[in-house]
Amino acid sequence: MRLRMVIPKGSLEKGSIELLEKAFYKVEGYERSYNPLVSDREIDLRVLRPQEIPVYIAEGLFDVGITGRDWVEETGADVKILRNLEFGKVKLVFAAPVSHNYESLNHFLEKNLSNGRPVKIATEYLNITMSRVMSAEAYRARFGSKKPMIITPWYRYGENPSVSILLSFGATEAKPPLAADAIVDNTETGRTLEQNNLAIVEELMESSAHLVANRQALEDEWKREKIYDILTMFTGVIESEKKLHIFLNVREENLGELLATLPALKSPTINKLSMEGWYAVNTVIDKTELHRILPKLRRLAQGLVAHRPELILPLEEIGHEGGENLGGKRG
């Protein structure tokens, strides 16, 4: 039996490959093939567009995969979100020509619709855009539950030609002002929007890469264990990058005060040194804590060594959900 896993092509591809390799899954041939080899031969890996991945996983074509949180919401796919992988961070924004000085999506609709002017919004995110437009007060007051016109090369549907949402296949920022009045698009820094004379009017959501799974796959004992192995390794990589493993020596009379200072993962490890009255202490702390506790460490301890841990695996956490142990033997 093999676990069917899928990762995204495009902007999330590099981060996905790096995460796999940091988790000791060696990936070969991804530069040339959509079916690269993984060092774990129980995993069958494919590379597809992130827009497709949530639906394919929900339909059972794949068991687990990486995709953007935005595409999970856009597709409405019924998948199990296992973890935010904390890379590929973007904001989904409503943007319009900077010269108009819109204050919000609602202000954009109010200003245009009150003058009887139909509006066009270009986007790859048809469903998210339709939902945000229909929830705006200026829209509800005029059109109630009528759906905006959705326009693609293959079909059009909706009941309200006063607001049209046009499917964009990329270069969305180039559409205004001729092909659209505004856009909904994702951005990391906003620079591309600025270069095209667009201003971010409103942030609609934040997105990043997420690990998601097919719900039925999690009911299969072998697949569930394999998926939670991947989740454990990914979590170890992500959490390790936030930690420091520190080693230091301390006199016995300072040991109690030092231990009260250290924000340890669990309990620090303490060993008595051959030199009388001295102890070695090692523990794991958040990187952000080091500068805060450094003044006290300088006063109480000697010989501080700090390492970046390669992997810290939360073995006691993964596979437990709502008090139920989802683990078990894999056969």
| Domains held by the chain: number | 3
Q: Are residues 158 and 293 in the same domain?
A: no
In a domain, residue 328? The reply is: no
Sheet holding 198-207, edge to edge: 156-157, 148-151, 160-167, 119-123, 182-187, 90-97, 198-207
pLDDT at 319: 65
DSSP 8-state assignment for residue 75: H
Same domain (yes/no): 119, 177? yes
**Same structural domain for residues 101 and 131?**
yes
Domain boundary among 207, 230, 256: 207
pLDDT number for residue 295:
92
| pLDDT on residue 264 | 63
Q: Are residues 112 and 189 in the same domain?
A: yes
**Residue 303 maps to a domain:** yes
Of residues 319 and 152, more confidence is placed in 152
pLDDT at residue 31 greater than cutoff 50: yes
Ramachandran class of 79: left when φ > 0, alpha when ψ lies in -120 to 50, beta otherwise: beta
Domain span at 247: 243-307
**Do residues 117 and 167 both lie within one domain?**
yes
| One domain, residues 99 and 146 | yes
Distance CA(80)–CA(142), nearest Å, equals 37
Residues 150 and 228 in one domain: no
pLDDT, residue 84, reads: 97
Domain membership of residue 16 (yes or no) is yes
pLDDT of residue 266: 63
| Residue 327 confidence (pLDDT) above 50 | no
Q: Return the higher-pLDDT residue of 264 and 279.
A: 279
Q: How far apart are CA 278 and CA 51, in angstroms?
A: 59
8 A C-beta contact, residue 225 and residue 330: yes
Q: Which of 6-20, 78-92, 270-284 has the lowest mean pLDDT?
A: 270-284
76 and 130 within one domain: no
pLDDT the model gives residue 265: 54
- pLDDT exceeds 90 at position 19: yes
- 141 domain residue, yes or no: yes
Looking up residue 44, the CATH number of its domain turns out to be 3.40.190.10
- Give the pLDDT band (50/70/90) at residue 328: very low
Determine, yes or no, domain membership for 327.
Answer: no
Closest CA relative to residue 58, chosen from 42, 74, 40:
74
Residues 187 and 226 occupy one common structural domain: no
Can you give the pLDDT at residue 174?
94
Domain co-membership, 166 together with 37: no
Number of C-alpha atoms within 13 angstroms, CB side, residue 309? 20
Residues 256 and 161 in one domain: no
102 CB-near residues (< 8 Å, 6+ apart): 96, 108, 111, 182, 199, 201
With 0-12 / 13-18 / 19 or more C-beta atoms within 10 angstroms meaning exposed / middle / buried, residue 234 is buried
Residues 148 and 196 in one domain: yes
List, for residues 238-255, the tens digit of each pLDDT value. 999 999 999 999 999 999
CATH number at residue 254: 3.30.70.120
| pLDDT tens profile 138-152 | 999 999 999 999 999
Query: d(Cα 293, Cα 261) in Å, to the nearest integer?
Result: 7
3-state SS, residue 327: coil
Answer whether residue 325 shows pLDDT above 60.
Answer: no
In a domain, 231, yes or no: yes
* Residue 35 belongs to some domain of the structure: yes
Pairing of strands 301-307, 320-321: unpaired
Identify the CA nearest to 187 among candidates 168, 169, 201, 206: 206
CB 121 within 8 A of CB 165: yes
d(CA 108, CA 101): 9
- What is the Cα–Cα distance from 46 to 30, expressed in whole angstroms? 9
**Model confidence at 320, in pLDDT bands (50, 70, 90)?**
low
54-58, 174-178, 251-255: which has the highest mean pLDDT?
A: 54-58
Within 10 angstroms of residue 104's Cβ, the number of other Cβ atoms is 14
**Stated pTM of the model:** 0.88
Is residue 318, in this structure, part of any structural domain at all?
A: no
Task: Say if residue 331's pLDDT is above 50.
Answer: no
Average pLDDT, integer, range 124-140: 97
Give residue 326's pLDDT. Answer: 40
Beta bridge partners of 166: 122, 151
Range in 225-229, 234-238, 317-321, 326-330 the model is least confident about: 326-330
